[in-house]
A and B are shown apart, each in its own frame.
Chain A
Amino acid sequence: MRELFRKWMEGDQDPMESILDISMQADQSRDERKQITHEKRRMLSADPGSQERVEQDRRWFRKIYLAVAVISCISLSLVLLYTVSLMPRYGAENPRTTEVVSRYVEEGIEETGAVNIVSGMILDYRAFDTLGESHVLFTALVCVMILLRIDKKNQRTGYEDYYTIRSDSYFDLSRDPILPAMGRALIPCILLYGIYILLNGQNSPGGGFSGGAVIGAGMILFSAAFGMQFADRFLTLKLCNIVTFVSLAFYSFAKGYVFFMGANGLENHIPKGTPGAILSGGMILPLDIAVGCVVSVTMFGFYSLFRRGSIGMDVDYGRFASGGRKGKLTASSLKDSGKAKGTASFSKDPCKAKGTAFFSKDSGKAKAAGRKG
């Protein structure tokens, strides 16, 4: 590594030279784009009636769009103003702003055992609310997974091949020699710092949400610095599912226990500990850890899904990265190669063979087989 840096500094060798594309291609593509729009314009001008029709449609659409936008804005602001008018005045004599707050401030430390009143509030008094919040995060992750995830089932429709290659064509930062060298020093510190915030939630500001966010950011940095394939070795979808499920189930059971004991007037056997120590606050620390796990998994999952459509090794990337790029996986080229070579060249790979059959369009049977099997 040191040798590489020395050569780089002296100008003998540029490690990014074979990877980066520092050419004037942008100009070419811009000219091509201009040509395409020019051709479109010419096609439109060949038919004189069509241009007017398009213009008319566009004008109507603009009017309707403007009207709908104004109406929805006005109605939304009216609803919000009406809601505000129903709220009690700030600082007025209502129990929410006087009695509840003063009880939290005065007796919060005794009742929850947490020095940080906010942590005691969100994980003890209002723990049910926090349970809902972590479920909202989980639901958001599941929704993104439904929309964006690439797995073996929808790989063979053809579009996903394209998206996989497209997302994989983003520059992989781990090919640069600087970031891994820096990440090796920095990422353990970030993860340790996140764990510190997570575990110290009942004593200082922080707790589950912010600590989980820091850990998730550290995981994102890890997968950016060392490459997605390296991160895929253990940050898999299975692990994400297990961690999320175990955390949410643990949260539900632990809080259910406390609610059950409290509602029936039974004694709570979980000790509160001395305020200020690490092991204090009763159930706050385990619940913090559960929330932090959910938040970090959600952050990493969002990044991973939006970046390339999967968490972990569900998609075999090497296949697309090496074979796909060289083989020009576009529709037209696949059609040609499928006709010329048949499926012989792809016979080792059943999934790709089906994809070829789908693209070739010459037989309905192959299409059906590709969809079924």
Chain B
Amino acid sequence: MSIESAYQYLYLSAAIVLAVLVGIVLIRSVIGPRITDRILCINMIGTLVICIIAILALRQEEGYLVDISLIYAMISFLTVLILASVYIRTKNKPPEDGEKDTPSEGGKEEGHG
């Protein structure tokens, strides 16, 4: 067995194991009882996919694929940030109109679902 094919098999097996893990994490994100479970799982899937892309970049010997994993990391970070800014309640939110005319209020506090 030559060294190149050994590297190919190594990368392939690592990528397959990581892909199986992505599927398992997806199950957790479906059954996760709270919204934060789901965001956490999406974040973890992001990390796993970053690793898979980095392995793929070495396997194909195309360095530019690492760029894609960097962009992926940035976007998954931005997702968590923006979702946090939507969901976090502050103390001085506008009073009294919280109940009647904020339709998204239900989604905000819907913890279990």
Query: Nearest chain B CB to A157's CB is how many angstroms away?
Result: 15
Evaluate contact between A32 and B99: CB separation under 8 angstroms.
yes
Given contacts A26-B109, A205-B64, contact A171 B88 (CB under 8 A): yes
Identify which of B84, B97, B101, B106 gathers the most chain A CB atoms within 10 Å of its CB: B97
From B91, B101, B102, contact of A20 by CB (8 A):
B91
Inter-chain CA distance A26–B110, complex, in Å, is 9
Contact status A333-B78, CB under 8 Å: no
Q: Write the B74-99 contact mask toward A (1 if CB under 8 angstroms, else 0).
A: 11001001101111111111111111
Q: Does A325 lie within 8 Å of B92, measured CB to CB?
A: yes
Could you tell me if B78 and A328 are in contact, using CB atoms closer than 8 angstroms? no
B contact residues around A170 at 8 Å (CB) = 85-86
Is the pair B91, A206 in contact by a Cβ cutoff of 8 Å?
A: no
A206–B87 CA distance with the chains assembled, in angstroms: 34
Across-interface contacts of A329 in B (CB, < 8 A): 94
Cα of A221 to Cα of B77 in the assembled complex, Å: 9
Instruction: Report how many residues on chain A are interfacial, defined by Cβ distance under 8 Å.
Output: 41
- Verify A206–B78 contact, CB threshold 8 A: no
Residues of B close to A330: CB separation below 8 A: 94-97
Q: CA A214 – CA B68 in complex, angstroms?
A: 11
- A33 adjacent to chain B (CB < 8 Å): yes
A197 CB to closest chain B CB (Å) equals 7
Chain B residues near A325 (CB, 8 Å)? 92-95
Instruction: Assess whether B94 is in contact with A29, with CB atoms less than 8 Å apart.
Output: no
Q: Is the interface of B mostly helix, strand, loop or mixed?
A: helix
A305 at the interface (CB under 8 A from B): no
In the assembled complex, A217 has its CB within 8 A of some CB on chain B? yes
Q: By the criterion CB–CB under 8 Å, are A33 and B97 in contact? A: no
Which residues of the other chain, A, contact B71 by a CB distance below 8 angstroms?
210, 213-214
The A interface, classified by DSSP as helix, strand, loop or mixed, is helix
Shortest distance from the beta carbon of A168 to any chain B beta carbon, whole Å: 9
With A217-B75, A224-B85 already in contact, the answer to whether A162 and B70 are too (CB < 8 A) is: no
Q: Considering the complex, give the chain A residue whose CB is closest to the CB of B68.
A: A205
- Asked if B37 lies at the interface with its beta carbon under 8 angstroms from chain A, I say no
CA gap between A210 and B64 in the complex, in Å:
13
CA of A324 to CA of B94, assembled, Å: 8
Chain A: minimal CB distance from B1 (Å): 32
| B107 interfacial by beta-carbon distance below 8 Å | no
A20 touches B85 (CB 8 A): no
Whether A217 contacts B97 in the complex (CB less than 8 A), given A20-B88, A197-B67, comes out as no
Q: Is the beta-carbon distance between B67 and A206 smaller than 8 angstroms?
A: yes
Whether A21 and B90, one on each chain, are in contact in the complex, defined by CB atoms closer than 8 angstroms, is yes
Q: Are the CB atoms of B90 and A33 closer together than 8 Å?
A: no
CB of B111 within 8 A of chain A?
Answer: yes
Residue of B70, B86, B90, B92 touching A193 (CB-CB under 8 A): B70
A217 touches B78 (CB 8 A): yes
In Å, the complex CA distance between A249 and B85 comes to 37
Given A170-B85, A224-B85, A333-B96, residue A190 in contact with residue B74 (CB < 8 A):
yes
Known: A170-B86, A173-B84. A221 touches B111 (CB 8 A): no
Would you list 23 pairs from A and B whose C-beta atoms are within 8 A, ordered by A residue? A19-B90, A19-B91, A20-B88, A20-B91, A21-B90, A26-B111, A29-B109, A162-B97, A165-B94, A169-B90, A171-B89, A171-B90, A172-B90, A179-B81, A197-B67, A206-B64, A206-B67, A221-B78, A224-B81, A325-B92, A325-B95, A328-B95, A329-B94
10 tightest A-B CB contacts, nearest first:
A171-B88, A169-B93, A21-B91, A26-B109, A21-B89, A330-B97, A165-B94, A171-B85, A205-B64, A173-B85
